[in-house]
Amino acid sequence: MSIIKILRSGTTGAPSALAQGELGYSYLAGDVSNGGDRLYIGTGTETNGVAANIDLIGGKYFTTKMDHTPGTLTANSAIIVDATSKIDVLNVDNITIDGNSITSTDSNGNISLTPNGTGKTIVTNLYTDGTTSLSEFIYDTVGGAITAGTGVTVVNSDGSDTSTISITNTAVTAGSYGSAIAIPTFTVNAQGQLTAAGTASITTSLTVGADAGADDVVSLATDVLVFAGNTGITTTVSDNQIDIDLDDTAVVAGTYGTAIATTTFTVDAQGRLTAAAANTIAIPSSQITDFEESVEDVVGGMLTGTQNGITVTYTDGGVGAGVLNFDVADPTITIAGDVAGSATMTNLGNVTITVAQQANSVDMGTHTTGNYVASLVAGTGVTLANNTGETATPTISIGQAVATSSNVTFADGQYTGNVIVDGNLTVSGTQVTLNATNLSIEDNLIYLNSGSTVTNPDLGWSGSYNDGTAKNAGFYRDATDGYFKPFKDYTPDSSALLAIDTTHASFALADIQAANFRGALIGNADTATVWATARTITLAGDLGGNVSINGSADVTLTATIQANSVALGTDTTGNYAADVAVSGSGLSITGAAGEGTQYTIASNGTNASTPSTLVFRDSDRSFSANVVSAALVGNASTATTLQTARTISLAGDVAGSVSFNGSGNVSITTTIQANSVALGTDTTGNYVASVGVGAGTGLSITGTGEGAAVTVSGVDATTSVKGVASFDSGNFTVTSGAVTISALDGGTY
């Protein structure tokens, strides 16, 4: 029987730490909070032998709560329904649900059914007792609660479950009161009821009078009182309102009469203006005595005389009488100063003055606007002629034509702006210096040494840099050997040289880094992906085999031991028998000596009395013999021992002997003679030429060479190394190699 004991405690509730999958049980008397009588397991990631979580999975504390009859509510126990999914009674706080009853243990407490949100509480077929339904109870309660007040009659019908409430009739007779000639009258009590109703006649006539005529009586019930307009008046009635309006005449509303115009108007019998107009005041001179002469004399007296070049004469009588003559002197207008000219106006008519600019009268810059050239000065490379005196014609020249089609020659030039060359640019000098930040060339090929008389120069480019020392680096074709070479650290100024001096102490070849190089490489490479030519590695001698390798991947060479290449005893370790032989009577051997031979050793033993055979006993330990020469003691059919003990010896490849007198079984201790067994020749089947152990098997081996003691030992097992582990006798039982768990004890906590 095997016993497995898990981690346990009788004094503590939950364990403080468990390994992943490890169980722990607390048999401390459990209650709601102390964690006793519960089973725990470690779960989650395990760190240093401790699981991340300790989960509660069961225990006596829970199982005892389920140890009762299903369907029966039991104190301090779980609710277990019976086969029909029912429980006999259910207590929820103060509420008890038992059979068909829902009761409360809270004295005078309410039982509330409150749905959530817009949910409804739906209850059907409710009764207040065994016979009275809730609806009947409500009907009876409501009906009994309704009593008639003043002016109200209540009739309750228990059979039809109705309560009829009506207003009690008063003494008023139902009907309509009031008419076109009668006003309704009524009496209202404190409840707002009409206790009396009747009518009263209204006044039916109205006496009207005016400035003229006798008074008239208007019957209000039947007559229509009309307000009529007389001449010039219009009346209008609308929405119980009478409008009296004075009629418009043909006169246009406005203001009439001014200082030079009088007003005329027409008035009708009603005093209204029916016409109005404005008339200019016009008094004929015939109506004024000597009016024209008087005016002429007054005006003539006012204007006659000479004033500031104007002469006025008045003719009072005779020919041309009453005429004023105005004579204006002809003035002369003269212009002087920087310009000069004059002209006479005749009878104040239009006149044109011709003016002339006076000599030296215009100061440039003072009397003029805009820019002007005060003088010309010849600058660098410019020749100036005829540049002196007023009216001079200066001539400016630069020594050569500079038209767009001209060929221009300059010694030196400097441009601060852009220079665009639409044609070809030819530089005849020996050096072109560009101080540009970026050089952009549209041509896809840059041609060097064009037109040069040097037939085999160094070709390439170089640039300067300073890493603490001014140096040059570049890429060029070495004219001495035709190789293209990148170089660095070159201190001579390569911009002023026509060749790179490879013998200079500072000259050094620079490295080139690229993703791939195409073509043959001459020289040694530090590394290579594959060899240019695959090579074959061949084993010779005692081993045979070959493999092709080009360096692109690892290869495995399969080796084969060559025939007759292993000399046992020389090339092998351990003991072996070179040959097998038998000696003495009764034994025979078959099998010729040679590699791979299988020997068979046989005996001619029998329990019969047969000469020259080995004797062995049959199943009842008897054998037959013709003659037994010996002193017999006791029963002649048996012998306890041989009279003379005999020595049985083995010779040949094995040696050994034992003394035998028949008194009991004997065992011959045999010794294979040194170098007597040829493994593979004197042995059959497979043999172990050497012994080794694989990595991770939990074993180790010692001993090499012929005659060595090979020791295979178990490696002590650890949590990370396979090996030999012992079984605790307290937990395991081992019988004939079979291991039985007697007890696994997780210990206590």
DSSP-assigned states of every residue in 319-349:
TTTTEEEEEE---EEEE-SSEEEEEE-STT-
* Portion of the chain with pLDDT greater than 70, in percent: 91
Closest CA to 603 of 582, 620, 619, 627: 582
Closest CA to 203 of 186, 185, 224, 218: 218
Structure tokens at 373: 């050239």
Structure tokens at 749: 């906590």
Write out the E strands in 202-260.
Answer: 205-208, 216-219, 233-238, 241-246
Cβ atoms of residues 457 and 446 within 8 Å: no
d(CA 328, CA 312): 9
The pLDDT value recorded for residue 626 is 67
What tens digit of pLDDT does each residue of 127-164 get? 777 788 777 777 777 777 778 778 788 888 877 778 88
| 37 — pLDDT class (breaks 50, 70, 90) | very high
What tens digit of pLDDT does each residue of 529-579 get? 787 788 898 888 878 889 898 888 888 988 888 888 787 878 788 787 777
For strands 3-5 and 743-745, give the pairing: parallel
Taking the model in full, what pTM does it have?
Answer: 0.28
What tens digit of pLDDT does each residue of 234-287 get? 899 988 888 888 888 888 888 888 877 788 888 888 888 888 887 787 777 666
d(CA 679, CA 573): 11
* Portion of the chain with pLDDT greater than 90, in percent: 17
